[in-house]
């Protein structure tokens, strides 16, 4: 009798129990981070048209979201904030009584040490021109002047209770500068999640609505060129050398090759960010009945984990966590 085929991989796929037994990659709710938006101008939460299921929260409602994250066993929450007033230098970002500092403290008071709080360390939500740093006389983002403000912002957020700071501005030397400021200021236990490979992507569109972005022009002079992989790895190496505790690749699925390369290359954890455009595409297709939205969202998160991400930031974190449970 013929022995062909001698290999029958389908044996291990014939039941759910067998598939679970031999699964090579698993996502746990603790792997997930939920980005949230807090708008200082709101008295009640506001739905975002381009991000179904996502809201601009109030200072009060965001603590309820944090409690839901804790109940769902998420690993972290990542607050972004929209201030009442913006100016050229993003001064609200370095205000100890500013909306992001108050948000960080309010969430931390609610969840304690059981949920990691990672406020965004960047100026774009706070500047009236929408860039991630201050501008020079020619309208270009001034790298070193911006670093000084990042240091001040780091002090404020660390004092507000942040566990990690999401260094997302893509300024040269930002991790090293922030690390030195934190250490000198007695915040050596505050970690840095570095957006080490943050690409100038078309997938950020809905995020602009979420933070009421005032952006004029684009961010291609400081965010990574989507065509460059080697340069991205150079950025990752630099951030690790400067003291990053975690490095992030953003966006996620369009850059799975960078996630995988980073995971092979560094000994710190690697994070992936399923950004607003990725999330919105899945939601839009699901609303039209073209795909199973829950299955697609879970598969997208799984793909990031399989590529090597230890943790994933996604606007679908609560839904994925509930599905997993």
110 is catalytic: no
* Residue of 108, 110, 198, 283 marked active site: 198
198 is catalytic: yes
Buried b (16+ CB within 10 A) or exposed e, 267-298: ebbbbbbbbbbbbbbbbeebeeeebebeebbb
Contact 270, 249 (CB under 8 A): yes
Dihedral angle of Cα 116, 121, 126, 130, to the nearest 10 degrees: -120
DSSP state of 212: T
The tokens for 77 are 């929450």
Q: Which residues 6+ apart lie within 8 Å of 115 measured at CB?
A: 66, 69, 70, 74, 75, 76, 77, 107
Contact 55, 211 (CB under 8 A): no
Residue 76: CB atoms within 10 A of its CB come to: 24
The tokens for 122 are 């960047």
Q: Where are the alpha helices (DSSP H) in 112-204?
A: 143-159, 174-184
Contact 58, 42 (CB under 8 A): yes
Residue 305: CB atoms within 10 A of its CB come to: 19
* Residue of 108, 250, 283, 305 marked active site: 250
- Which residues form the catalytic set? 198, 250
């Amino acid at each position: 009798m013929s022995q062909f085929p001698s290999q029958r991989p389908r044996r291990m796929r014939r039941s759910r129990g067998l598939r679970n037994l031999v699964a090579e990659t698993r996502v746990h709710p603790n792997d997930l981070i939920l980005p949230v938006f807090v708008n200082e101008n709101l008295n009640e939460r506001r739905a975002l048209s381009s991000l179904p299921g996502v809201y601009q929260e109030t200072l009060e409602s965001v603590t309820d979201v944090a409690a839901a994250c804790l109940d769902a066993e998420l690993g972290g929450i990542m607050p972004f904030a929209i201030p009442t007033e913006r100016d050229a230098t993003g001064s609200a970002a370095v205000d100890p009584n500013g909306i992001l500092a108050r948000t960080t403290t309010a969430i931390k008071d609610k969840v304690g040490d059981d949920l990691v709080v990672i406020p965004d360390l960047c100026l774009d939500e706070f500047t009236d021109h929408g860039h991630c740093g201050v501008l020079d006389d020619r309208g270009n983002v001034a790298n070193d002047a911006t670093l000084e403000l990042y240091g001040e912002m780091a002090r404020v957020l660390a004092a507000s209770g942040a566990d990690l700071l999401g260094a997302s501005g893509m300024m040269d030397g930002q991790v090293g500068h922030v690390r030195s400021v934190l250490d000198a200021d007695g915040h050596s236990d505050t970690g840095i999640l570095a957006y080490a490979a943050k690409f100038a992507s078309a997938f950020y569109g809905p995020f602009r609505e979420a933070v009421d972005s005032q952006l004029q022009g684009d961010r291609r002079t400081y965010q990574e060129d989507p065509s460059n992989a080697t340069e991205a790895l150079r950025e990752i190496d630099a951030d690790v050398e400067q003291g990053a505790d975690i490095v992030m690749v953003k966006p996620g699925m369009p850059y799975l090759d960078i996630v995988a390369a980073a995971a092979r290359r560094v000994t710190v954890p690697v994070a992936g960010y399923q950004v607003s455009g990725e999330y919105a595409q899945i939601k839009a297709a699901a609303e039209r009945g073209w795909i199973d939205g829950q299955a697609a969202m879970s598969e997208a998160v799984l793909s990031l984990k399989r590529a090597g991400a230890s943790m994933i930031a996604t606007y679908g974190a609560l839904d994925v966590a509930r599905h997993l449970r």
